[in-house]
Each structure stands twice: as structure tokens, then as C-alpha cells.
Amino acid sequence: MEYLEFEFLQTVLENVWVQVLLTLLVTVLLHEIIRRLITWVSRKIVSRHNKESKNSHTKRADTISNIISATAGLMIWLVAVAVILDIFNFDLTSIAAGAGLLGIIIGLGAQTMIKDYLAGIAILAENQYRVGDIVTLTGGSTGAGTSGIVEEITLRITKLRGLDGTVNIVRNGEASVITNRTYEFSRVVIDLGVDYDSDFDKVEKVMNEVGQAIAKDPKFERDVKEPIQFLRVDEFGDSAIMVKALGDVEPAKQWEIAGEYRRRLITEFRKNDIVIAFPQVVVHKASE
């Protein structure tokens, strides 16, 4: 009885349609397992930006996992098709030769696109920049940089909108240097020339007071991480002594707060008789 059952099972398994069905079932099951595994691993290994929400991080991880899953799925189904063709006794040698030649042709023509996609995966996985960041992407044959606000990131391209409203589309594989001006925080850098006769203790005091006033202003207090403070006397110029001040603010707020700081500083310098230097020319009159 057992022998008859084994023989029946063997006969069933030898049926080509049963083999095809089993191949399809195993492929679907394997594809689903690998897809879930890739999604889980992607969410674990993709780094999360300090300012990034959990939902945004999940979307970014899912974008990466989807492209990897699609690639893995394609490979699994190609193997499944090869197995099914072998079941029907197709000559895979000639098919493989043709596919190999076609693959070489496509590969030569798609090198740039593959480079762009790999760079796009790296940008998303490493969180080099996100939508809303202000960046400069430098690279290409000219080495020129393209700056703007990131409006969209895909695996192949990044869209940047400039200050004048122009949208620049940069291939991800083209950018060899990425300068992110709004990663985690931004820094206000103030360079100012004051007269040589200035009282620099007073200059430092006034600059610090203006920085503290902005930090306490309800309009700006949420945007200021570290108040703008006098840093040092930076250099001796031809007509002025250069001083430097620094402060940390929320991403992309450095220009607005720097402008407000300069506006208030001019007023306070005037009140305290501190002169902002300007270029001067000394003329010597030759004696007759």
C-alpha cells in the first residue's frame, strides 16, 4: 500500500504542470519572505536624522527597500522562468547567449543610469540631505556647483529650486561634493569692520547684548539655539579692525536672523558711539 502511494506521488510530481505549479508556489513564497526581510533590515540599518519624524524615516527606508525588493524579485522570477523553461525542455543555452549579448548592450548604455540609481540609494540611506534642505551639489565635467532648496529626491535625480525660482535638475551620480547648509542646525557668521579708535570691550558688550536680545525676542526665540556672541578680533585691515561673531540657529534661519542682528547692531553702535569703519584714503601733499 505504501509503495502504491509513493508511486502515485512520484507520478504526480513527474507531471510537468504540477512541477510548474510547485515552482510558482515556491517562487511566490520565497519572494514574499525576502521582501519582508529586506523591509525589516532597511528600517533597522537606515540612519535617522535628528530632526526627522518617524513617519518620514519609515517612508525613506521603505523607498530603499522597495527598489532592493524589486531587484531581488526580478532575479527570483528570472530563475523561476529558467526552471519552468527547463521543465518544458527548452534549450537554455541559446537563450542565455542571446540574453547575455542583450545584457552587454543594455549595460553599456545604462552605466550612467545605474550610477545615478546607486548614488540615489546612498543619498537616501545615509540621509545626506532631505526635501527642504538648502544644498550645493558640485560635480560634473565643469566642476560647477548648483545651489537651491531641495524640492524632490528620487533614486535618479534631485530637483533644486534657486532663489530666483529656477528649478535645476541634477543627476544623483553627477554630484561628487554635497554641501548641506541646513543639516541639524545652521550657523550665523558675522564679520564686521570697526574703527581703530573703538573701545573693544564696549564693542564686545554691545554685540553680545544684541545677540541676547534677539534670542529672547518671542519672534526669534524658537529659532535660536545659541545666541550670537562676539568671538574675537579677527584681523587688522587697511581701514578697519575686523571682528567676528557666531551663533547657532534652526536650519535655514541663518539669513533672516543675521539680517535682524545687523539691523539692530547698527542702531546700538550709533547709541554707543561705535563707528563702523569704511575705506579711507590718506593723501600726502608734497611740499613746494
Q: What is the pLDDT of residues 10-51, one digit of tens each?
A: 565 566 777 778 888 988 898 888 888 888 887 777 666 555
Same domain flag for 30 and 87: yes
CB of 133 within 8 A of CB of 149? yes
Classify residue 118: in a domain, yes or no. no
| Mean pLDDT across 181-200 | 88
Task: Identify the residue with better confidence: 128 or 227.
Answer: 227
Classify residue 20: in a domain, yes or no. yes
Classify residue 77: in a domain, yes or no. yes
Same domain flag for 245 and 163: no
Using the predicted structure, report yes or no on whether residue 128 has a pLDDT greater than 70.
yes
Dihedral Cα 272, 277, 280, 284, nearest 10 deg: 50
Dihedral Cα 231, 236, 237, 238, nearest 10 deg: 160
Confidence bin at 153 (pLDDT 50/70/90): confident
CB of 240 within 8 A of CB of 194? yes
Same domain flag for 89 and 14: yes
**pLDDT at residue 140 in the model:** 65
Classify residue 73: in a domain, yes or no. yes
Same domain flag for 53 and 146: no
Classify residue 259: in a domain, yes or no. yes
CB of 57 within 8 A of CB of 47? no
**pLDDT at residue 98 in the model:** 56
Q: Which domain holds residue 140?
A: 129-180
Using the predicted structure, report yes or no on whether residue 142 has a pLDDT greater than 50.
no
**pLDDT at residue 138 in the model:** 87
Classify residue 277: in a domain, yes or no. no
Same domain flag for 176 and 239: no
